[in-house]
Amino acid sequence: MAGASPPPPGGRRRLRDDGVRTPTSAEQTKVEDIVQEIFDACKTNHHASQFVLQRDKHFHYLKRGLRQLTEAYECLDASRPWLCYWILHSLELLDEPIPQSVASDVCQFLSRCQSPQGGFGGGPGQLPHLAPTYAAVNALCIIGTEEAFGVIDRKKLLEYLHSLKQPDGSFLMHVGGEVDVRSAYCAASVASLTNILTPALFAGTAEWIARCQNWEGGIGGVPGMEAHGGYTFCGMAALVILKREHLLNLRSLLHWVTGRQMCFEGGFQGRCNKLVDGCYSFWQAGLLPLLHRALHARGDAALSMAHWMFDQSALQEYILLCCQCPAGGLLDKPGKSRDFYHTCYCLSGLAIAQHFGSGDLHHEVILGVPENRLHATHPVYNIAPEKVVRAVMHFLQQPVPSPEPAAAAE
């Protein structure tokens, strides 16, 4: 449905602090004031051009980033595979082809990030870590060539995952590192894409994730912690991969995540009493397709077969009006700086909000001009659905490697 109407002004509700002003309510009011100005300016101008995705500017920002970064990115020296993934995924959402020479250069760079022990580090010569391993595998699957798939040492990767597995079913993020739900998701994601997912590797993992769901309904980093959008996505997506999402209280989770869409701004917050942030356009909104699927499998008759269970137009309006940098790239909220992380997840959330379902049930809700339409993204892996299929089919042709006994024992 191209040219969808923006949310009606009457549907927006500003914060009511009941006369008790706190630092939290003051910050929220400040953000609402800024967003109000943007919405009012849009209403006054009456220009449909207000709802335009600045595709060319975003493309040039991303294209430059693949080849050259400013000194401001020195702090991300241990996250270089992430930069590859954020940029490549943003480009595929914009339907911008990746030149073969660039793709080959990325493959060669990521091969230098791969550790002899298995997995990928944040840069060449760095220790392996599950977060850049996830990013590297996703980036290679986006490229999707024989060269890209050939970079991944599946046997060593399986051994590395076994070395991180804990007796309670959880995973370390790296050897000697912390445990949280991100590691379970990163492990499940790379294992399922590369056909190294085994029952032994994930024994007890689903049950451990389920224990991270708290009284709020969302999922915390570890059992007993506050529910958080990033951890909740990771937990739910990992359980979808493991086909164990029924272990969660899905109704409680639905209640929590739908409550994270801001009544005034239209974007999502990461936790209760936090500010809107463009990155949660994916981490929170991306949960809704996963929940929809899980509830549909239970035969829930109340589910729509045309819309996700959040305000798709309101989220698109927030991203298009409040999260685009005039020079290209996307951002957290008005007043913040652009970066590749927020560019990736704002665009990913915009794609989720534009596309419902797949196949015969596919419906589109495109706010603004038809050219705003992005490529669909897979809600579990956050790469293009056809890239997921290509990777899975490629690695299914190869047998599951057997890890060395020492690695399996760990």
Are 183 and 231 in contact by the 8 Å Cβ rule? The answer is no
> Is 40 annotated in the active site?
no
What's the CA gap between 191 and 178, in Å, rounded? 20
Out of 14, 60, 274, 293, pick the active-site residue: 274
56 is catalytic: no
Active-site residue among 279, 323, 344, 346? 279
Q: DSSP readout, 215-242?
A: TTSSB-SSTTSPP-HHHHHHHHHHHHHT
CA pair distance 347, 79, nearest whole angstrom: 20
Active site residue 339: yes
Q: Tell me if residue 277 is catalytic.
A: yes
Give the largest CA-CA distance in the chain: 69
Q: Respond yes or no: is residue 274 known to be catalytic.
A: yes
Active-site hit among 80, 165, 174, 271: 271
> Can you list the pairs that 96-105 forms with residues at least 24 positions away whose Cβ atoms lie under 8 Å?
96/59, 96/62, 96/63, 98/142, 98/143, 102/66, 103/143, 103/145, 103/147, 103/148, 104/147
Please state the separation of Cα 112 from the chain's center in Å.
25
Which residue in 234, 332, 346, 378 is the catalytic one?
A: 332
CA distance linking residue 310 with residue 118, whole number of Å: 40
21 catalytic per annotation? no
The active-site residue, picked from 89, 339, 375, 387, is 339
Catalytic residue (one of 85, 277, 344, 381): 277
- Reply yes or no on whether 394 is catalytic: no
342 is catalytic: yes
Kindly name the residue from 342, 355, 375, 387 that is annotated as catalytic.
342
> Which whole-number Å values give the CA distances from 315 to 261, 279, 309, 322, 351, in the listed order?
8, 12, 12, 10, 11
What are the catalytic residues? 228, 271, 274, 277, 279-280, 332, 339, 342
